[in-house]
Structure 1
Amino acid sequence: MRTKVLSMSVLLALLGLTLRGAVSAQQADKVELVGQFGGGANGVAVRGDYAYIGVGPRLVVLDIASPTQPTLAGQTDVLAGIIRRVVVVGNHAYVADGMGLRIIDVSNVSAPEEVGFCDTPGSASEVAVDGGYAYIADGGSGLRVIKIADPSSPSEVGFLDTPGSATDVVVAGSYVYVADDSSGLRIIDISNPANPSEAGFLGVEDGAYALSLDVAGDYTYLGTQGYARLLIVDISDPANPTEIAQHTLGDLPMGVAVAGGYAYVTGYWDGGLLVIDISDPSAPSEHTFFDLPGSTGELVVAGEMAHIINVGYGLHIVSVDDPANPSEISVYTTPGGVGDVSIVGDYAYLAASQGLRVVDVSEPAHPGEVGFNAMPSAPIALDISGDRAFVAAGASGLRIVDISDPLNPSEVSFVDELHGANDVAVDGSYTYVSESSHTRSGLSIVDITDPPTPTELGFFDTPDRALGVAAAGDYAFLVDGDALRIIDVSDPVHPSQVGLYDEWGWFTGVAVRGDYAYVADNGTWYSSGGLRIIDVSNPAQPALVAFLVTLGNPSGMILQGSLAYVAARGSGVRIIDVADPANPKEVGYYDTPGDAQNVHVAGGYTYAADGSGGLFILRYPSPPFRVHIPLVVRSH
């Protein structure tokens, strides 16, 4: 579980100061947050003319008075966690963010502001609010009951540790209905919120997992994965819930909403909106399927509109006035998650959910998108040489983009024969691509002498998934599984391995400088993750010099001076002093709220590609926190 953050408000109040964007020592050490951009969309609530959605670590408020033209009304500052679910009641939004419950004052939609927080022991994934209490589906910690009478001071008053992992929650009357993973549907009596007790349950078959649900009248509509189905459960007697029907789905049911005799279900793999006729709950029938790109998640049906979250694309507003013929009214596009970042001048180039995004970072505290180039699949990594960006785009191979005009990046060519491009390194006239697909895994060497007509010259097979790659002179350094392979590429048509270092672990990234290769070891269930420093002065005999165990699971890194900046997934960015390669030591960190995958350093700033958290702009070392006390000289 992510380390929780304690507030500095008491200290600052005593000093008579405010510190906007401050982070506590438990969240960062010697590193400060400067700016943030983007993030994956998750969670949606609708009230009146406004939609409230999570975009990475921010709550974003959209004006939907005109559904055909949703516009930004306001957003919070960066919160400490990634928003998962949102409920709005009165002047407050209640947010489950994996760390706990956050309460946001939305009385002024142009400036929503966090006013309260209650930590939970598990992974807060869903929230429901009723009668002065918030009910949290807290993963392995079950149901948590939080009193919210004073929004500035929410406190847990009760809990019930369900047998499974609580993923969704709905309140109806005196009962809470919980989707509890392999433990099915749990019905909990909350007539005494301080002492919730289980009233009844309905198990699911082996291999099935309760994922999402909604309640309407005497029925619960339960979405299950494993066996993708919608179960219709009679709950007229909460002590004895009874399944009366089920409908087979073609996808994981990420969201379920019931309105007007229909169940609306969103899917993860195929996306889209499935409409099921439940006018007779004992005989559900598929009404229609409306296709949407990407993965669809949480949804809210309000009036004639379905508001559907798409993790990579944003918010879709779909008319369901005629449930048999849904039609998209509009889409509010969000930047999506970020997998890699590279900086050139005043611009950050992001491998983002839908393609290559160009962000102006001339004012690091206020980054803003200025250009975009769409791609057929989500990019994973990129490298820049001159006025070209070389993008490893997974299933859609290597994409080459002209960035001579950052405001109008344009694709000039691609090599789609590379069906699983994971990483890319450019050195001179060649691009080295790590590839892993169902047909092959290894290192591809592509001639980019003429960028409009790139040509694969050679390929080196590896036995495991090739993930990270670096190039230096006549050698390419490739990590696959638990191995670092040193490959002679002096003849690019016939690459050959000259050296091998292997050890228990899962190697995901590599950087090379001088006589050393720095390997990000993601770790395994039986070995710790960390930074491996390997002497490659003799390529035929690479040797481990040091291994520094780090928090998190290192993924990518960059070397700058005597420092290695390591993206450590759930533990953010770790900064390692490698001046003495035999004795590396951590000298600073920032625990980003998302999934730090790669990092770049330029102009005194650290740019972290934080997955669902978007782009984080950091500074190390952070300026010292000073309190100026004027000297008063008294005359005698």
Structure 2
Amino acid sequence: MNWTHSRRTILLASALTLLGCPPPSGPTDPPDASTGGPDASTGYEWDGSYVPLEETGNWSGLGRLSACTFVPGNGACDLSTFDLSACDTDSLVNAGTEGHYLLTSRDEGPAAGDPPFINAIPFKLPTDGGTPLLGNLPMTEEREGNVRLYSNHVSLADGGTRRTALVTCESPQAPEFTGCYAFCRNGRLVSTSTVKSDRLTWRAGESEASGLELVSESRVDIGYPVDIYVTKGHAYVVSVTMVASKPGGLTVFDVSNKAAPVKVKTIQLPGDNYWNGVWAKGDALYVASSTKGVNVFDISNPADPRFVLSAPGDRLYTHTVFVDGNRLYATANSSIALFDITTPLAPVELNRYATHLPYYPHDVFAIGDRLYVNYADMGYEIVDVSNPNDLRTLGNFSYPWQYSHHNAVGTFAGRTISFMGGEGAGEHLRVLDITDPANIVKIGSFQLRAPISIHNMLLVGKKLYVAWYQEGVRVLDVSNPTQPTQVAYYNTWRESDPGRGDYFDGAMGIRIPGDGYIYVVDTSRGLMVLREK
């Protein structure tokens, strides 16, 4: 996914960008359980009552993350920039010296805002004595007693300098640590933050899995795999390009034998290799392209997709796609394009919805005449699409420092309930009563480790299946939507896997086509087929 959180890529110089079912097309295809279905209130009967919850944002009341401070006017970005007098530096003997971490950072600068900006940055301390990485910045390590300073100095073509520094302050509990971050340019202190670490191992008390078991795993050799669609006995995995030497594309697996999927084809197009979303209807496969809009493939022979056309035909950055009935929805630059796909291989554009120019929508969910839009920095939006020539905004849900990312909608006790996931530090699952779109009410929430956020989710009956980046796959019982409860999990993320270290890392794509299996895409491990125990 090639979006940019406007301030998120500036703070800490992380420079990280990325990367969130139709009726059966043949007699062998089971119905896809991931889109709609019967009223989810069958079985356990939630009575529809709730206490409205106040929305206070992701980090209500979060104070400074470390006791260290900054020496006013010191733009050297070395140890002299930091005041460690209030730090318990003796405790740093317990701080970790290797492994993968996420650093939560709190902006402490004069323009930090209220509430201040909170970010999360990957920090990798190699076990082999290699170069530490803060985001994608190589850092040099220095030690003074138990204190560690990690810095990066760059000489610019204009004769100036750019310096980044991270210093440790104390270790409240092994292997975690807190500290301070500074960014300097030409000898001037530009930005300052306090930070605290989270070591990226499995959550305390967890094993590899509970309630889910691994049936098979198959490596994806191209790009950085991010999404999946399963139909016609095949899994279609799309990948984005994270480094030029490893372009993305489409990988096709025959999954007729779930225990041993067979890779049957890979597709890459010249100059068009950042494919972030995928969906299908009948014999048509729709792939979200960062340069061509929606690439349409003919999958009448499911093992051999054939490129047909790009819709709507002009150069568009398309991040995600979604199909509901005879409608295809695609995020298209700073709008959402609506297509008629009565003839699946020949989409006809009907209109575009764009209410927050120049901001980009991230993802959508649709049922009937309602479109539910994750409008990223602009919140969560509900749109009446009954008349494609007259698209009407019905409501919006917003909160401070938001990044609305993905959602699933169902009916519980006669009420329309949305499960909305945000992306970024502190983002989590919010449960919203959207029965009256003009009066959206928060009624529940669920969160794991604060720096790790949700990618994609599917509502199947009364269970919500979540691809949760480094937290792997999580299954929540939402029969009472005011109190989501975890009932199963599978930790797909392992520190030993090759290529680990990005913020957008781990379980990303998830599909449940109704054949008794859960299909997951992990950025390192590729296609993983799971089964509930």
Q: In which range does the TM-score fall when normalised by the shorter chain?
A: 0.5 to 0.7
Q: Structure 2 matches for 1:570-609, cutoff 5 A?
A: 570-593=470-493, 594-602=505-513, 603-609=515-521
Provide the secondary structure at the position in 2 that maps to 1:363: coil
- 2:373 matched to 1:456? no
Q: In 2, Cα distance between the equivalents of 1:482 and 1:571?
A: 26
Q: CA deviation at 1:461?
A: 0.9
Preserved contact between residue 370 and residue 406 of structure 1 (Cα < 8 Å): no
- 2:158 matched to 1:182? no
CA 1:509–1:615 in structure 2 vs 1: closer, same or farther (change >3 Å)?
Answer: same
Q: CA deviation at 1:356?
A: 2.2
Q: In 1, Cα distance between the equivalents of 2:262 and 2:153?
A: 43
- Tell me what 1:136 maps to: 130
- 2:340 matched to 1:340? no
- Tell me what 1:465 maps to: 360
Preserved contact between residue 135 and residue 143 of structure 1 (Cα < 8 Å): no
Provide the secondary structure at the position in 1 that maps to 2:162: coil
The counterpart of 1:550, out of the listed 444, 448, 467, is 448
Q: Structure 2 matches for 1:32-111, cutoff 5 A?
A: 99=100
Residue deviations 1:253-289, cap 9 Å, x none? xxxxxxxxxxxxxxxxxxxxxxxxxxxxxxxxxxxxx
Preserved contact between residue 468 and residue 474 of structure 2 (Cα < 8 Å): yes
Q: In 1, Cα distance between the equivalents of 2:285 and 2:407?
A: 20
- Tell me what 1:517 maps to: 418
- Tell me what 2:301 maps to: 405
- Tell me what 1:296 maps to: none
Residue deviations 1:137-186, cap 9 Å, x none? 34469789xxxxxxxxxxxxxx997622xxxxxxxxxxxxxxx53389xx
CA 1:423–1:590 in structure 2 vs 1: closer, same or farther (change >3 Å)?
Answer: same
Q: Structure 2 matches for 1:312-461, cutoff 5 A?
A: 334-353=221-240, 354-375=248-269, 376-415=272-311, 416-417=313-314, 419-436=316-333, 441-461=334-354
Preserved contact between residue 418 and residue 435 of structure 1 (Cα < 8 Å): no
- Tell me what 1:619 maps to: 531
CA 1:339–1:135 in structure 2 vs 1: closer, same or farther (change >3 Å)?
Answer: same
Q: Which amino acid aligns with 1:123?
A: K
CA 1:601–1:163 in structure 2 vs 1: closer, same or farther (change >3 Å)?
Answer: same
Q: In 2, Cα distance between the equivalents of 1:542 and 1:395?
A: 35
Q: In 2, Cα distance between the equivalents of 1:576 and 1:431?
A: 28
Q: Which amino acid aligns with 1:181?
A: N
CA 1:482–1:138 in structure 2 vs 1: closer, same or farther (change >3 Å)?
Answer: same
Q: In 2, Cα distance between the equivalents of 1:589 and 1:143?
A: 38
Q: In 2, Cα distance between the equivalents of 1:482 and 1:567?
A: 23
| Rg larger for | 1
Preserved contact between residue 282 and residue 344 of structure 2 (Cα < 8 Å): no
Q: Structure 2 matches for 1:455-534, cutoff 5 A?
A: 455-463=348-356, 464-480=359-375, 481-504=377-400, 505-514=402-411, 515-524=416-425, 528-534=426-432
Q: Which amino acid aligns with 2:221?
A: T
TM-score, normalised with respect to structure 1: 0.47
Provide the secondary structure at the position in 2 that maps to 1:389: strand
Residues matched between the structures, number = 326
Residue deviations 1:477-505, cap 9 Å, x none? 11112511111111112211112222232
Q: CA deviation at 1:344?
A: 1.7
Preserved contact between residue 234 and residue 303 of structure 2 (Cα < 8 Å): no
Q: In 2, Cα distance between the equivalents of 1:356 and 1:385?
A: 17
CA 1:208–1:590 in structure 2 vs 1: closer, same or farther (change >3 Å)?
Answer: same
CA 1:162–1:448 in structure 2 vs 1: closer, same or farther (change >3 Å)?
Answer: same
Q: Which structure has more strand as a fraction of its residues?
A: 1
Preserved contact between residue 225 and residue 237 of structure 2 (Cα < 8 Å): yes
Preserved contact between residue 383 and residue 389 of structure 1 (Cα < 8 Å): yes
Residue deviations 1:7-32, cap 9 Å, x none? xxxxxxxxxxxxxxxxxxxxxxxxxx
Q: In 1, Cα distance between the equivalents of 2:132 and 2:258?
A: 35
The counterpart of 1:163, out of the listed 134, 141, 149, is 149
Preserved contact between residue 154 and residue 161 of structure 2 (Cα < 8 Å): no
Q: CA deviation at 1:98?
A: 5.4
Give the unaligned 5+ runs of structure 2.
Answer: 1-97, 102-121, 166-182, 184-218, 241-247, 494-504
Identity across matched positions, percent? 27
Preserved contact between residue 459 and residue 494 of structure 1 (Cα < 8 Å): no
CA 1:135–1:372 in structure 2 vs 1: closer, same or farther (change >3 Å)?
Answer: closer
Q: In 2, Cα distance between the equivalents of 1:590 and 1:205?
A: 48
- 2:437 matched to 1:539? yes
Provide the secondary structure at the position in 1 that maps to 2:405: strand
Q: In 1, Cα distance between the equivalents of 2:471 and 2:147?
A: 27
- Tell me what 1:245 maps to: none
CA 1:492–1:98 in structure 2 vs 1: closer, same or farther (change >3 Å)?
Answer: farther
Preserved contact between residue 390 and residue 401 of structure 1 (Cα < 8 Å): yes
Give the unaligned 5+ runs of structure 1.
Answer: 1-96, 101-120, 128-133, 145-158, 165-179, 185-203, 211-225, 227-313, 315-332, 622-636
CA 1:615–1:543 in structure 2 vs 1: closer, same or farther (change >3 Å)?
Answer: same
Q: In 2, Cα distance between the equivalents of 1:572 and 1:536?
A: 28
Q: In 2, Cα distance between the equivalents of 1:398 and 1:518?
A: 26
CA 1:403–1:483 in structure 2 vs 1: closer, same or farther (change >3 Å)?
Answer: same
Q: CA deviation at 1:423?
A: 1.3
Q: In 2, Cα distance between the equivalents of 1:522 and 1:467?
A: 10
Preserved contact between residue 283 and residue 345 of structure 2 (Cα < 8 Å): no
Q: In 1, Cα distance between the equivalents of 2:431 and 2:286?
A: 27
CA 1:500–1:418 in structure 2 vs 1: closer, same or farther (change >3 Å)?
Answer: farther
